[in-house]
Amino acid sequence: MKASELINLYNAGRRDFSGECLRGQKFAGKDLSGAIFRGCDIRGANFTSATLRDTDFSKATAGLQKRWMIGLLLATLLLIALSSVCSAFVGVLSSLTFNSSSIEAQVAGWTSLIMMLLFCIISYFRVLGAGLGAFAFAFAFVFAFAFAGAVAAIVALAPALAIVGAVASVVAVAVAVPVAGAGVLAGAFFVAGLSAFLFATVLAFAVAFAVTTFVPVATVVPVNVALARAFAVAVAVALTLFASYLAYRAMKGDPRDAWIPTFAMAFAATGGTTFRKANLTDANFTQATLKSTDFREAILIRTCFKNAQKLDRIRPGNTILSQTHVRELLMTGYGYKKSYLNTDLHGANLDGANLNEANLKQCNLNDASLRATNLEWTNLTQVSAIHTNFTHCNLTGACIEAWNIDQTTILDHVDCQYLFLLEKPGNNGTRERRPHDPNKMFQPGDFEKLYREIINTVQLLLKNGINPEAFKMAFDKIVEEHPNISYDNIQGIEKKGNDVLVTVEVPEDADKANIQNTFDEVYELRLQAATATKLLEVEKEHKKDIIKVVELLKPSETNIINENKAMTNSSDNSQNIKARDINATNFIANLRDISGKVSNNIQQIPDNTEDGKLSIKQLLSQLKTAIETENNLNDETKAEILDSVNNITEAAKNPEDSNLKKLAKLSKNAIFGMVSTLPTATKLVIECNELLPQISQLLGL
């Protein structure tokens, strides 16, 4: 069936296309959600960026079309031929060690042999070709300058050919396995690999024998031609054997050579079925054959791969299919006693899987489906299970320490007789079993009810005890923004060492993160304001003490105050000092005087206005006006707030003074604290929330 015909039928309302031949058809960017392609031939079909939600591909056959397979096999044979020729020439170059008539020829032979041995040793124990390419060419470059003549060129060529031959051999054999296994050789992994190896070995043998037979004697001149020929063939065959071993090791998933299967699978998937960037949410690939299929950047949320065939021969990209143990779990559903510690299982479809006693600690299970999954005695410590479906799963004996769930987590009809809240025994020697009594079990529905209540709560942790005033202000803010929440929603207050944990019941659709953030912000702000107010009171008392000391040390100022009177006794002087103390106190408390002082300081601030922005002078003037015109404050409170503004103006006049900056920061917090008693809609509160952050930024507080 042609793609255009299928799309027209789909738009007309047809959904079932079971058994259709869709080879090579293009559905890129199309929306085929809910379509049924059960048993279809989709080899070479293009579903790039298509929307395929709830689409059924069960028992479908994906992969390469025949013409693409033939082309890739021919390319593979050419690559094998190249590697075989390189291996043969390395063997021939190594045979130069038997040339007793030329020291340079022997150097070329030994160089090739040594480089080959080093390459094999390092590749075996570490990573294929790790840094050896650059080393080989550098080595050849030095030798090229060290010698002159034709043999010098052979010396320079020897290490390079050794590396190229080995790498080409490994890649050729590795690529041959998935390509040949795509169908031409009955899909047999062993047959494909063995065929590639035999072809490479025979060709290497033939090339080595031919070269050692027909190379001019003037070039090689070995003492024993037969011995040299046998040695060349042996080296060529050994190199091919070693390359085949590395390819086999890589294809079995050895992490040392992870790039080889990645390259091989990418090569083998060229021209195959592609689901790149497709939305496969809730799609079904049960028992589908998926070799040579491209899943790069596909959305695989709850996509079912149960009993899928040849899932190890796909191009997975960065999806969860790139993890070998995850692919195996998705295909078989068997994870009994296996460890998936810190594994990304985001969106995995594990319906009906056996994860009894498995270790899922710190796994990402967000958007995953675990319906009817066996999770008995499973370690679910610190898993993230947002929007995860646990319907009908068995959680008896599971550990759920610090697991992350919310109102989107589905816990319907969970089978759970008991569970544990701690992975390891705590200070009391228990793992916090629930129910506590070891002789009791959860009754049907108890678990769901219990953890549904936990989901619909917000826990507020107050460090180092609770500040009643700050708590009231913060909770009043929550009540103001969320009319469905009141003080009656507080379910419990627990002592946790030096801290206090407050549990609050919230509506199911409430934004819990917003509630917690709102509370924390107001609570912390009030604590800072209280601290700042205390520090300012200390600072004020300190200033008063300084004024008293200075006035006592400057008797001349007494004459200014009493310039029309003679100082005849000490009692008069004491009265004058007391009068000055009263005048100083009245100056601080007097609203008009402090307002004038603030205005004077603001005028002394330099004008540093940025384009389109208010200067700090303008911001402070607006703040001063807002304070003076606020009808909800008495004159005494206004004077206190303006005194704090004055500290900020002092810092603005002297921006390099760190002590003034510190005092300004405390004053800013004190202002917030003093206006926090006003309703949030009050003009002064709005102005402070807008102006003070800008002032802090300009001053670098």
Model pLDDT for residues 162-220, shown as the tens digit of each residue: 555 556 555 555 555 555 544 433 333 444 445 555 555 565 566 556 655 555 433 44
- 181 with 109, same domain: the answer is yes
Count of CB atoms within 10 A of residue 563's CB? 7
Tell me, what's the pLDDT at 145?
47
**pLDDT exceeds 80 at position 401:** yes
Q: 3-class secondary structure for 460-483?
A: EEECCCCCHHHHHHHHHHHHHHCC
**Residue 71 falls within a domain, yes or no?**
no
**Residue 683 falls within a domain, yes or no?**
yes
Q: What is the mean pLDDT of residues 341-363?
A: 96
Banded pLDDT at 587 (limits 50, 70, 90): very low
Tell me, what's the pLDDT at 571?
42
Domain boundary pick from 265, 291, 314 = 265
**pLDDT exceeds 60 at position 501:** yes
Percent of the chain predicted with pLDDT > 70: 64
- 118 with 230, same domain: the answer is yes
Tell me, what's the pLDDT at 532?
62
Tell me, what's the pLDDT at 660?
80
- 23 with 140, same domain: the answer is no
When mean pLDDT is compared across 43-47, 180-184, 371-375, the lowest value belongs to 180-184
- 307 with 400, same domain: the answer is no
- 278 with 398, same domain: the answer is no
Q: What is the mean pLDDT of residues 353-371?
A: 96
Q: What is the mean pLDDT of residues 206-235?
A: 56
**Residue 346 falls within a domain, yes or no?**
yes
Range of the domain at 337: 333-455
Kind plus residue range of the DSSP H or E element containing 156: helix 150-180
End-to-end Cα separation, the chain, in angstroms = 71
Question: Is 0.75 topped by the overall pTM?
Answer: no
- 173 with 59, same domain: the answer is no
Q: What is the mean pLDDT of residues 542-559?
A: 46
The number of residues in the chain equals 701
Banded pLDDT at 570 (limits 50, 70, 90): very low
Domain boundary pick from 304, 328, 352 = 328
Banded pLDDT at 36 (limits 50, 70, 90): very high
Give how far Cα 66 sits from Cα of 3, 56, 293, 458, Å. Answer: 20, 25, 15, 60
- 102 with 238, same domain: the answer is yes
Tell me, what's the pLDDT at 546?
45
Kind plus residue range of the DSSP H or E element containing 505: strand 499-505
Q: What is the mean pLDDT of residues 677-698?
A: 81
Q: What is the mean pLDDT of residues 667-691?
A: 79
Chain mean pLDDT for the chain: 76
**Residue 315 falls within a domain, yes or no?**
yes
Tell me, what's the pLDDT at 126?
63
Domain boundary pick from 328, 357, 376 = 328
At 445-483, the pLDDT tens digits run 888 877 766 667 787 878 777 888 888 888 888 898 888
Give how far Cα 677 sits from Cα of 350, 515, 517, 519, Å. Answer: 54, 20, 20, 16
- 181 with 108, same domain: the answer is yes
DSSP code per residue over 622-644: HHHHHHHT-TTS-HHHHHHHHHH
The CATH number covering residue 411 comes to: 2.160.20.80
**pLDDT exceeds 80 at position 515:** yes
How many structural domains compose the chain? 5
pLDDT winner (highest mean) among 97-101, 172-176, 326-330: 326-330
- 482 with 553, same domain: the answer is no
Percent of the chain predicted with pLDDT > 90: 27
**pLDDT exceeds 50 at position 612:** yes
- 450 with 591, same domain: the answer is no
**Residue 70 falls within a domain, yes or no?**
no
Residue 471, burial from CB neighbour count under 10 angstroms (0-12, 13-18, 19+): buried
Q: Which residue has the higher pLDDT, 619 or 54?
A: 54
Banded pLDDT at 223 (limits 50, 70, 90): very low
When mean pLDDT is compared across 3-7, 159-163, 429-433, 666-670, the lowest value belongs to 159-163
When mean pLDDT is compared across 14-18, 336-340, 358-362, 572-576, the lowest value belongs to 572-576
**Residue 338 falls within a domain, yes or no?**
yes
- 428 with 472, same domain: the answer is no
Kind plus residue range of the DSSP H or E element containing 493: strand 490-496
**Residue 646 falls within a domain, yes or no?**
yes
Q: Which residue has the higher pLDDT, 521 or 320?
A: 320
Tell me, what's the pLDDT at 18?
96
When mean pLDDT is compared across 166-170, 321-325, 403-407, 468-472, the lowest value belongs to 166-170
Residue 451 contacts by C-beta under 8 Å, 6 or more apart in sequence? 405, 411
Banded pLDDT at 88 (limits 50, 70, 90): low
CB 314 within 8 A of CB 274: no
What is the rounded CA–CA span in Å between residue 699 and residue 406? 42
Tell me, what's the pLDDT at 364?
94
- 346 with 275, same domain: the answer is no
**Residue 317 falls within a domain, yes or no?**
yes
Distance of CA 4 to the CA centre of its chain: 41
Q: What is the mean pLDDT of residues 236-258?
A: 68
Angle at alpha carbon of residue 671, lines to 667 and 674, rounded to 5°? 130
The CATH number covering residue 510 comes to: 3.30.70
Q: Which residue has the higher pLDDT, 653 or 537?
A: 653
**pLDDT exceeds 50 at position 17:** yes
**pLDDT exceeds 50 at position 30:** yes
Instruction: Calculate helix-pair angle for 103-125, 66-94, nearest 10 degrees.
Output: 130
pLDDT winner (highest mean) among 165-169, 565-569, 637-641: 637-641
When mean pLDDT is compared across 331-345, 391-405, 478-492, the lowest value belongs to 478-492
Q: Tell me the pairing of strands 457-462 and 433-434.
A: unpaired
**pLDDT exceeds 60 at position 507:** yes
When mean pLDDT is compared across 109-113, 278-282, 340-344, the lowest value belongs to 109-113
At 126-168, the pLDDT tens digits run 655 554 554 455 455 545 444 444 444 544 455 555 555 556 5
**pLDDT exceeds 70 at position 271:** yes
